Structures are given as C-alpha cells and as structure tokens.
Amino acid sequence: MSNTTSAALHDLTVRALARQLQQRQVSAVEVAQHFLDRAQAHQALGAYVAIDAQATLAQAQAADARLAAGTAGPLEGVPLAHKDIFATRQFPTTAGSRMLAGYQSPFDATVVSRLADAGVVTLGKLSCDEFAMGSANENVAVPAVGSDAPTPVRNPWDTQRVPGGSSGGSAVAVAARLAPAATGTDTGGSIRQPASFCGITGIKPTYGRASRYGMVAFASSLDQAGPMARTAEDCALLLSHICGPDADRDSTSLDLPAEDFTRSLDTPLAGLRIGVPKEFFSDGVAPDVRATVDNALKEYQKLGATLVDISLPRTELSIPVYYIIAPAEASSNLSRFDGVKFGHRAKDYADLVDMYKKTRAEGFGDEVKRRIMIGTYVLSHGYYDAYYLQAQKIRRMIADDFQQAFQQCDVIAGPVAPTVAWKLGEHGSDPVADYLADIFTLPASLAGLPGMSVPAGFGAGGMPVGLQLIGNYFQEAKLLNAAHQLQQATDWHQRAPQGY
C-alpha cells in the first residue's frame, strides 16, 4: 500500500472507512496497523494509556475474516479507542488512577461489547482524568503509552494547552487522527467540553440511553457514555450502536429500543426554533468564544432556523448543585476501593484501619480525595438536608426550567465552555477555576438531557470553539440533524491541527 493511500486513511470518517472495509478496498488489519503506527508516532500527546498491537490486530484479522465470509457487522473493521473508564477484558482498566494500575476486568462494558458486536476493532485505551474527575485531563495518575511517569494529555492544536476533560485522551485521539472515533463519558460535560477544546464532535445522550454497566462509576445519576468523532454523521452512526436497553445489567438503563440516529440527518432545518439562553451569553463568556458562537448561530439562520430568546434562570446554581451531588455519589461509589479485593493495597500497615487509610491515601489523587471529602461531608448526619437534599430540589427546578424553555424552542444552543482551552497548569492549584468552567455543560447533565458539541470555528490563538446543542429528552436525532446540517454548510469540523 502506498504512502499516499495510507496517509488518507486517517482522514476518513467512520462512515467512509466502514464503506471501504465493506467493499474490501482496504483491510481491517491495514487500517488498524495504520492507526497503531500513528498512535506510536504521536505518543507525546499522551492520548493512549494502553495499546496492545497483538490484541488489536487479532481483532482486525477476525474482522477481515467476517468481511470475507459475508458475516460482517455494519462497522466491521472500523477501529476505535475507548476511554479508560470502560471495563475491557483485553486491555487494563485503570480509570486514570493509581488505585487501579494494571487492573484487568473480567468482563467488557456493555458499550464496549455492543460496539464489538457491530464489528468495531479496539485500538486501545485512552487517557482521562482520574475517575473522570476533571476538566483538563491534568488529573492523570497513570503513565501514557511511551512514558514512564503519569503525564497530562496535550491538545494537538497547541501542545502547551489542555485538551479539556475528563475525556481528554478521547478528544485528542480523534482530533490528531490517532483514531477515527472514540468513546467518552460525560458526567458534567466530559464529552462536550474536550470535544469543544479539540475541535471535534461529541454527543452525550439522554441519561439512561446508554448502559452504564462496565463504566467505572463516578456519579451514578449523571454518568453517561457517548461517541466522539469528527462528524455528526459518525456520532449518529456510533450512537445507534452504543444505545439500547440493558435491563439485566443496569437498572437505570431505559427500556427503549435501539434507534437509528442517522435517520433524519438530512432533514432541512427550515422552521427549526433554536433557543438561545441569555444566561449562556453573560459577561463570563470570553469575547472570542462569544463571537465564534454568534457566527455559528448566524449560519443556522442562513439554514432557515430561527433564534428564540429564552432563559435558564438557574444556570449559575448548577455549579454548586453539581459539586454537591456528584461528589456525594462519588464518595460512596469509590468506597469499594479499599485495598481488600482488587486494586492498590498499601505495603505496610499496622491494622485494618491503617490499611484503609494508607491504601486510599496512596491510591487516590488530590482531586479525587477532595471530592470524596466534599461528598462525605454533604451526606453526613446534620448536613444532609442542607446540602444534598437541597441540591436535589434545585436539580429538579433546573430540569423544570428546561421544560419551560422547550415550550418555545426545539433545541437550545450556546457555548460549550466560557473560554477556549487554557494553558497546561494555568489553573494551578485552584480547583474552583476548573469547576466554574463547567457552567454551561452542567445544566443539561443535571437535567439528564442530551447535549452535544459541534465545531463552530476558532477563537483566540486559533483554538477551536464548540457550539453546544441541547435537546429535550430522547431528541438525539434532532440534535444530530442540526449538527449535520451545520457541517454540510461549514468546514470547521474538517480542519485538522497542523502536523496531524
């Protein structure tokens, strides 16, 4: 195979790759090898934390065999990498934590097995913030492939900048063409914000659409899996395979049949009412982001959509509400990491309590400890009503605000984040600076609504800016339609960072 063809492979979309594989213009092994080579060549980005070429190529060979036998799945041979929060049998599952360094799951997450059933080949595992807690992918406690020490993930648009988080490795792998697509998880914006920072497309479906079985839990009532790719069409294709009921393994999985989310991609947008919440365009939004988002909204008007002024009055409250509920759930979810059954255990200890203390002190990073402490505090006797219960009440009001808004519009649009990607280390030791940057992604998470990030152009320093689209429950197809139509009219999503 010549270099020119080879070079083109990583620019192909999932859709195009799937077609070429089905038509046997290229083999799954060639495609997999190509991306493995690229992952190695660009390992300085720190995107991958686990690669096993042998395992990947074996999967690719099996895919080729099925393609030859005519028993191929719809995505047969398409390579994809998983955020290291998904349990995988063939690769270690660390959740970015020292606590789980080298941990091998005996089962695959439902999302992983569903994609495998569709024919997807796994390239490896992608870096993320420890237990998905972070907005910059700087909270990483496991080394990236090719590195001896834990490394933050770098943004390919400017390697001095963060890629966003917590699905930072996923966003970087897709943006730098180290994988045609990746899985991510979104608890408070962890798909949408890194997608925005890296100039790719990502969608978090309605809570309950995707099974959480096999996702290392952060905040159970918020965690949701979704695809990250370069186009809305690819996201629609992948999401169709990711979603579906899993009642035997996840009680929060909705009893809704799998859907073909590509079905209405081509619907014209004439008459679409786009709600523009005034709270998403406050002074807190950087001027470059605001101008870029405004410009994208103008494109929508050109496509026949109308803009409607709406209000989501409790947008600011979503920060304290989220940072009570998510840590509360996390403090309990992370109790299982106690050194008894699996994962890290301290070497020397005096007794049981000492073992617990040392194991958890050594195994968890600062941000994780911070959230465990916050969560433990807000659930404590005498504080529960004032914090957790109060937060749940406001959460309900935030969800009600969205229902009010959807009386007036079909989708809601605004920025994903107030700024473009910041510099590595810029937020220093101020976690609150990170928390505040989540303001526009938290409301949809708290309401359980589907949300996505679509490339909307470039802001300061040529850094990508994402447009956030939020839909009502189960309106993923409508979001993907709106995103796809924008991508038919613009080419922001096709731009690649220089050198990749």
Instruction: Give catalytic residue positions.
Output: 83, 166, 190
* Backbone φ, ψ for residue 232 (5° rounding): -65, -35
Please give the order of strands across the beta sheet that includes 464-471.
48-50, 121-126, 79-83, 181-186, 224-229, 201-204, 451-458, 464-471, 411-415, 273-277, 306-310
* Backbone φ, ψ for residue 122 (5° rounding): -90, 125
| Binding pattern for the stretch 239-258 against another protein, x by CB under 8 A and - elsewhere | --------xxxxxx------
Does 87 engage in binding with another protein (CB under 8 A)? yes
Contact in structure between 482 and 176 (CB atoms under 8 Å): no
Min dist CB 282 to another protein, Å, is 31
Cα 493-498-499 angle, rounded to 5 deg: 125
Does 133 engage in binding with another protein (CB under 8 A)? no
Q: Which of 20, 308, 316, 342 binds another protein (CB under 8 A)?
A: 342
What residues numbered 355-374 form the site for another protein, per CB under 8 A? 356
Does 338 engage in binding with another protein (CB under 8 A)? yes
Task: Give the residue with the Cβ less far from another protein, 103 or 474.
Answer: 103
Does 463 engage in binding with another protein (CB under 8 A)? no
Q: Which of 23, 54, 69, 106 binds another protein (CB under 8 A)?
A: 106
Q: Give the total of residues touching another protein (CB under 8 A).
A: 46
Other beta carbons within 10 Å of 167 = 40
Task: Return d(Cα 1, Cα 8) in angstroms, integer.
Answer: 11
Task: Give the residue with the Cβ less far from another protein, 150 or 448.
Answer: 448
CA 433 remoteness from chain centre: 20
Instruction: Report the chain's terminal Cα–Cα distance, integer Å.
Output: 20
Does 488 engage in binding with another protein (CB under 8 A)? no
Q: Which of 5, 24, 107, 494 binds another protein (CB under 8 A)?
A: 107
What residues numbered 195-214 form the site for another protein, per CB under 8 A? 212-214
Min dist CB 202 to another protein, Å, is 21
Q: Which of 3, 70, 270, 341 binds another protein (CB under 8 A)?
A: 341
Which positions ≥6 away from 265 have C-beta within 8 Å? 232, 233, 236, 480, 481, 484, 485
Min dist CB 172 to another protein, Å, is 24
Going from the C-alpha of 105 to that of each of 243, 342, 345, the distances in angstroms are: 22, 10, 17
CA 294 remoteness from chain centre: 24
Residue type, 464: P
Task: Give the residue with the Cβ less far from another protein, 263 or 336.
Answer: 336
Interface residue list for another protein (CB under 8 A): 86-87, 93, 95, 100, 103, 105-107, 109, 212-217, 219-221, 247-252, 328-329, 331-332, 334-336, 338, 340-342, 352, 356, 376, 379-381, 384-385, 388-389
